[in-house]
Amino acid sequence: MTEKLKLVNNFWHKFKKPILALAPMAGITDSAFREICRRYGADVAYSEMASVSALFFKPQRTLELVKFNKNERPYVVQLFGKDPAHFAKATKIISEKVKPDGIDINFGCPAKKVFGHGSGCALMPQKKLAREIISAVCENTKLPVSIKIRAGVGKTTALEFVKNTADFPYSAIMIHGRTYEGGFSGPVYFSICEKIKKMFPDKIVLANGGINSSEDAIKILQDYPSLDGLGIARGAWGRPWIFEEIKNLLNVGVQFIEPNKSGFDESNPYEKYNFPKIKKIMLLHAKLIHKDKGKRGLFEIRKHMAWYVRGFPGASELRRKLMLAESLEEIKKILK
Ligand SMILES: Cc1cc2nc3c(=O)[nH]c(=O)nc-3n(C[C@H](O)[C@H](O)[C@H](O)COP(=O)(O)O)c2cc1C
């Protein structure tokens, strides 16, 4: 019965393919950025990773970190940690208090402070513990569960990891196609993602890693047609409309058969995302983050502003001014 309920309410199975996900990024995928990416074509947005131990002992700050608004739905909260009891309680707290659309388990983070504590992708080779963690999450929520893994860690491959855990009813797997050893810039093995999809056709499989343009995305979808979709992380920095660009490019085939009367291809992302339009997105992003976090948000948005203006005429001067702005009014003035 519970299994059936999970399928009925499971947003992962309601998407048109390919599914385009904003991948989780600590310090980046906050509420404002998630909303911006959802508005510009992301089908689903992941939170920053949230510590299950923090949720277990002192949840308030972490609950603040993962709160969201309805424009971000479908929204997935990602949990990290290593203690199954903490995962169990954190899952309950998130399901009951935050009420996202899904819960994700981080088996992919290589950062020292996560990996060094035995969490993130340090869990991939730990067969028994990984199973206990997935079990703790699946048993404590009615929400669909997903996992995020790497192509491999040491001798443990992503395929072995999924073989060891696929009997649990998690719905989706985002695979960062780099190994732990490959960090954030090594080769990306998309073929592993496709192999996993073919072996486990009931699981939704999203490939992630190094997808930095709509052309990259189209090529991967063409080369690995079994994939259900893609996860994009750094490719959305300063261009959250990358998701919409991919969708537009996917429609281009049809539009070439019957071009519109003006002969101007309205789906051309490079025509659409001119500087005035980008400035409007920057301002919207600033308004959203200001609404959510107040003045602190205007400091946090500086990195996004620097990414947005790359390639603008007079980028360095604009960047310099934006880095000094301390109010929404100032940002508005500068962007005018
Ligand atoms: C700044 C930053 C923070 C990240 N934080 C997380 C995180 O909280 N959870 C997670 O599973 N992966 C995290 N990642 C990994 C990304 O989700 C993604 O797997 C990785 O960046 C590869 O994708 P890309 O090549 O599109 O950037 C982070 C990556 C970056 C660059």
For 134-193, how does the pLDDT look when each residue is reduced to its tens digit (9 = 90+)?
999 999 999 999 999 999 999 999 999 999 999 999 999 999 999 999 999 999 999 999
Q: What is the pLDDT of residues 114-139, one digit of tens each?
A: 999 999 999 999 999 999 999 999 99
pLDDT value of position 254: 37
Question: Is the Cβ atom of 28 under 6 angstroms away from ligand 1?
Answer: yes
User: Is residue 264 a part of any domain in this protein?
Assistant: no
Catalytic machinery residues? 109
Say if CB 61 and CB 27 are below 8 A apart: no
CA 33 to chain centre: 11
Q: What is the pLDDT of residues 53-93, one digit of tens each?
A: 999 999 999 999 999 999 999 999 999 999 999 999 999 99
> Quick one: how many helices (H) and strands (E) in the chain?
17, 9
As given in the structure block, the two tokens for residue 212 are 């930095």
Q: Which residues of 51-61 are buried (b: 16+ CB within 10 A; e: fewer)?
A: bbbbbbeebee
Let me know whether 331 and 244 are in one domain. no
Question: Is the Cβ atom of 88 under 6 angstroms away from ligand 1?
Answer: no
Strands, E, within the chain: which ranges?
19-22, 44-51, 75-80, 102-107, 145-153, 156-157, 172-179, 204-208, 229-232
125 SS3 class? coil
User: Which structural domain, as residue segments, surrounds residue 117?
Assistant: 2-249
47 SS3 class? strand
Let me know whether 62 and 111 are in one domain. yes
For the entire predicted model, the pTM comes to 0.93
pLDDT value of position 265: 42
Let me know whether 303 and 169 are in one domain. no
Report the C-alpha gap between 335 and 323 in whole angstroms: 12
For the chain, the domain total comes to 2
Question: Is the Cβ atom of 177 under 6 angstroms away from ligand 1?
Answer: no
Q: What is the pLDDT of residues 268-306, one digit of tens each?
A: 444 467 888 999 999 999 999 999 999 999 999 999 999
Distance 261 CA to ligand 1 centre (A): 42
Judged against a pLDDT cut of 70, whether residue 23 lies above it is answered with: yes
Let me know whether 48 and 189 are in one domain. yes
Say if CB 90 and CB 52 are below 8 A apart: yes
Q: Which of 216, 249, 282 is the last residue of a domain?
A: 249
Check residue 81 and give left, alpha or beta (phi > 0: left; psi -120 to 50: alpha).
left
pLDDT value of position 285: 98
User: Is residue 64 a part of any domain in this protein?
Assistant: yes
β-strand partners of 229: 19, 206
CATH number at residue 60: 3.20.20.70
Question: Is the Cβ atom of 48 under 6 angstroms away from ligand 1?
Answer: yes
Report which secondary-structure segment, H or E, holds 92.
Answer: helix 84-93
pLDDT value of position 178: 98
Distance 186 CA to ligand 1 centre (A): 14
Look over the chain and give the mean of its residue pLDDT values, rounded to a whole number: 92
Let me know whether 106 and 240 are in one domain. yes
User: Is residue 261 a part of any domain in this protein?
Assistant: no
Let me know whether 278 and 198 are in one domain. no
User: Which amino acid residue places its CA nearest to atom 26 of ligand 1?
Assistant: 233
Number of Cβ atoms within 10 Å of the Cβ of 96: 10
